[in-house]
Structure 1
Amino acid sequence: MRTFDLAPFYRSTIGFDRLFNLLDQTTADGAPGYPPYNIERTGENAYRISVAVSGFSQDELSIVAKENTLTIKGEKSASETKDRSEVLYRGIAARAFERVFQLADYVQVRNASLEHGLLHVDLVREIPEAKKPRTIAISNGSKAVEAQLEKVAA
């Protein structure tokens, strides 16, 4: 069991509350490990979250993107067993779950697909043109002054 005391950082930093709250959540005891998931980088600004959801159908899963949070929920329907068979041993987990992912600014969900028991959620980071860095041309100050003087003289 590993525990970290982040109290000294709270006292000496301002504006990092969200970061420390995320650290507290990840180190909290009893953090759910179900269902397992992978986060992959598939391109320069493209990502994929793969969640193992074996036993869940497409109708039993929901994906909600709100602000900078992506929530994936799974809930088995009441009529789980279509035939009247008796389960002697249940090794395949079919309990309800909720996974929440914090997304960075400008990250949007592009696509979601369910194949071979894995739910794939494709994400893309699209920075608006106004926020992208741009190159500013540097001109020689004396030439600019001469050009202005020529315009005034003409």
Structure 2
Amino acid sequence: MSEPIVFVGPVVKGPPPYRPVLLPGPTALEASSLDELERHLARAGLRVDLDDPAQVSWDGGGREVWVTYQVEVSTFIGMVRYRQVKIERQDGTAFWEPIATQAEFEGHVRRHRPDVDLADPLQVYWADHPGEWSQR
């Protein structure tokens, strides 16, 4: 299996937030949206399927992630008791904590980021299955 031809890095705080992009050449660019990434690809004469991991490597989230979040919740795995939760402090530093329940999650976020609206998808990112926690 060959290496992907496009590498898209994790979101870097802006302004505006952007993702580093590495194209063949090698050419290093920055994209602040999916549209901008597509324009870079078109200018480079590249036709790639952005959903094909053999063509594009997404680091730090897929094609839908273009902003940083104050709170991020990891993938839900039913047989694992905890989900990893990243909270970005107001000073810009961040930390990860294992969280087991919705109540624990809400208390943890309120303690560290009382300004975050847990219902706002621009502030809280769920990798999948929002609000679901293991029953273990």
TM-score in terms of structure 2 length: 0.22
**Higher strand proportion (structure 1 or 2):** 1
Higher helix share: 1
